[in-house]
Structure 1
Amino acid sequence: MPVEAWLDATVAGVFGLLIGSFLNVVIYRVPRILEGQWEREIADYAASRTAEVASGSAVAEPEPFNLLVPRSRCQTCGHQLRWFENIPVFSYLGLRGKCASCGARISMRYPLVELLTGALFVYCAQRFGLTATGAAWAFFCAMLVAMAFIDWDTTLLPDNLTLPLLWAGLLASAAGLIEVPLVQSVVGAAAGYLSLWLVYWAFKLATGKEGMGYGDFKLFGALGAWFGWPALVPLILMASVVGACVGIAMKVASSLREGGYVPFGPFLVGAGLAALILGPNAVQDAILGLFGL
């Protein structure tokens, strides 16, 4: 590999580790920020229906909680992390996976998210170079990593992640940063959303239950924007087959969460990353090969 390619991969890898560290914050905080917003909206509505508002009673403002404040801290003892305790991967290894203050074990997920993001950034740099196209696909990968873990933890796919990803795909196509014509990108976004929307309503009318959430529609629409409408069939085929296998395995192992739900978003994410690395057609051929077709 040429020296320039090694330098590109190194820069991308280091940047990916830093972004991965930030994604850990996103994964943990975004659902809690949304929950706080919903609770405040409910409280405001409830207050508006009571006489307390008329009497001018004060409502305590919550402490700031967003992606920037407060600073990262141990979830067990509240110890605020110092800069050298927040270096991606290396701090985890240096601390031996434990809090420096209370000794509580730190989840392996944190360095794994950082390493996964770093590896994806290195791949984008090696394939596309340190270019606008490489940056666009790195953004795509980072957003998918965050959404996969958030959905797995909470069964939520927040609009403030799915919608920017969808619009970024359309803009990347319009700017010529990805090899998907704008018409295919637009049709892919619309068809991706509407196809799962139709499946959702068909399942709900037939069973009276909700089989997936609206976030899945938006995520699939975003994948359609990035890969174009011809990729939708292999993407949904891969996500469905892998999701069904994982769901069956979890049921056999009695590890399904309450209600028996398995979030579909992580499998859409996996299909999207596989399509980036292997290509949608390769994904489709591999899945069809499992059935001897």
Structure 2
Amino acid sequence: MTGSVLADAALFGVLGLLIGSFLNVVIHRLPRMMERQWAAECAQYAQDTGLAAGGQAAAPAEPFNLMQPRSRCPSCGHEVRWYENIPVLSYIGLRGRCSGCGTRISARYPLVELATAGLFCACAMRWGWSFTTLAWCGFSAALVALTLIDWDTTLLPDDITLPLLWAGLLAAVAGWTAVPLADAVVGAAAGYLSLWLVYWGFKLATGKEGMGYGDFKLFAALGAWFGWQALVPIILIASVIGAIVGIAMKLASNLREGKYVPFGPFLAGGGLAAMLWGPGHIMQTIFSTLGL
């Protein structure tokens, strides 16, 4: 491995740490921003239709987005200073506790930063300093955010899945993914329609919803990035891992209310596996494991 490759990997690793720190904000705030938007729309509808008491408009809420307000400790309200927000290092320096009240800080924050850095390093080591690397780094960051948002809230925000879909198609146009545009378009359509058909088949058979529309959009995005040929390997690895995790959680009595496990994290895991090892290698591994 040459020095230039290591230098690129180190540089993208640092970038990954910084992006991972921002992803922690996205993971925490984006679902709450969506809830606030829904509440505001409901309040506006109630006002417009005369359902609101006295027809009074709700008082404007304080700004809440990815930039405002400044990050604070949820326990004591201590505002996080810049030197307390350095990826990984600040967590180590603070010994995993708030400097204001001593409340323990979740280890997930540095783990997200390290995971993003590791994915960015892997992209740089594979593709070097290029637009292809930047494209796959963006792909990785989106999947990290979607994984944890869906796990926490069972939501896959359109604000991430739809740009990810369009980015995959544009990356195919630019030649950054080595996927012909026709394969990317067919992959996006097939990814969406395949899970849509599964959804309706399950609902008609059982009267229940087995997954959400966000899963359709995420699978469509993966089809755009990898082409239609990769859909089967991705869904297979997602299903296998999902089944293993679901069974383990059931045996440990850790299933949430309704006894379900969100599927988005496993789709994202299948997408990251396809990026790191390739869809063909995934299929070979599955067949070898099954003895085929």
TM range (shorter): over 0.9
Which one-letter code corresponds to 2:154 in the other structure? T
2:136 and 2:165 map into 1 onto residues whose CA distance is 13
2:290 aligned with 1:275: no
1:126 and 1:52 map into 2 onto residues whose CA distance is 58
Report which stretch shifted further, 242-251 or 111-120: 242-251
2:253 aligned with 1:254: yes
Answer yes or no: is the 8 Å Cα contact 2:98–2:104 preserved in 1: yes
Q: Deviations 1:6-31 (Å, cap 9, x if unpaired)?
A: 22111101110000000000000000
1:52 and 1:214 map into 2 onto residues whose CA distance is 31
Give the paired residue count: 292
Which one-letter code corresponds to 1:200 in the other structure? Y
1:274–1:58: structure 2 CA closer, same or farther, 3 Å change rule?
Answer: closer
Which one-letter code corresponds to 1:214 in the other structure? Y
Q: TM-score scaled to structure 2, two decimals?
A: 0.97
| CA drift at 1:50 | 2.1
Answer yes or no: is the 8 Å Cα contact 2:191–2:220 preserved in 1: yes
Which one-letter code corresponds to 1:74 in the other structure? C
| 2:174 alignment partner in structure 1 | 175
Q: Deviations 1:68-118 (Å, cap 9, x if unpaired)?
A: 111111111111100000000000000000000000000000000000000
Q: Deviations 1:167-225 (Å, cap 9, x if unpaired)?
A: 00000001111110000000000000000000000000000000000000000000000
1:51 and 1:102 map into 2 onto residues whose CA distance is 43
Task: Give the secondary structure class of the aligned counterpart of 1:62.
Answer: coil
| CA drift at 1:124 | 0.7
| CA drift at 1:241 | 1.0
| CA drift at 1:2 | 2.1
| 1:6 alignment partner in structure 2 | 6
1:108 and 1:62 map into 2 onto residues whose CA distance is 31
Task: Give the secondary structure class of the aligned counterpart of 1:70.
Answer: coil
Mapping 1:42-61, distance limit 5 Å: 42-50=42-50, 57-61=56-60
1:93–1:284: structure 2 CA closer, same or farther, 3 Å change rule?
Answer: same
| 1:130 alignment partner in structure 2 | 129
| CA drift at 1:59 | 2.6
| 1:236 alignment partner in structure 2 | 235
Mapping 1:72-87, distance limit 5 Å: 72-87=71-86
2:138 aligned with 1:139: yes
Of all paired residues, the percent bearing the same amino acid is 66
Segments ≥4 residues shifted beyond 3 Å? 55-58
| 1:69 alignment partner in structure 2 | 68
Which one-letter code corresponds to 1:178 in the other structure? T
2:208 and 2:89 map into 1 onto residues whose CA distance is 46
| CA drift at 1:47 | 1.8
2:105 aligned with 1:116: no
1:212 and 1:258 map into 2 onto residues whose CA distance is 15
Which one-letter code corresponds to 1:121 in the other structure? F
| CA drift at 1:288 | 2.6
| 1:204 alignment partner in structure 2 | 203
Which one-letter code corresponds to 1:65 in the other structure? F
| CA drift at 1:129 | 1.1
Task: Give the secondary structure class of the aligned counterpart of 1:77.
Answer: coil
1:224 and 1:111 map into 2 onto residues whose CA distance is 30
| CA drift at 1:52 | 5.9
Report which stretch shifted further, 166-175 or 43-52: 43-52
1:199 and 1:59 map into 2 onto residues whose CA distance is 41
| 1:24 alignment partner in structure 2 | 24
1:291 and 1:252 map into 2 onto residues whose CA distance is 24
1:148 and 1:135 map into 2 onto residues whose CA distance is 20
Which one-letter code corresponds to 1:130 in the other structure? W
2:186 aligned with 1:187: yes
Answer yes or no: is the 8 Å Cα contact 2:188–2:221 preserved in 1: yes
Q: What's the Cα RMSD here? A: 1.2
1:45 and 1:51 map into 2 onto residues whose CA distance is 8
| CA drift at 1:57 | 3.4
| CA drift at 1:56 | 6.7
2:149 and 2:52 map into 1 onto residues whose CA distance is 37
1:256 and 1:225 map into 2 onto residues whose CA distance is 32
Task: Give the secondary structure class of the aligned counterpart of 2:247.
Answer: helix
Q: Deviations 1:233-276 (Å, cap 9, x if unpaired)?
A: 11101101110111111111110000011000000111111111
Unmatched 5+ stretches in structure 2: none
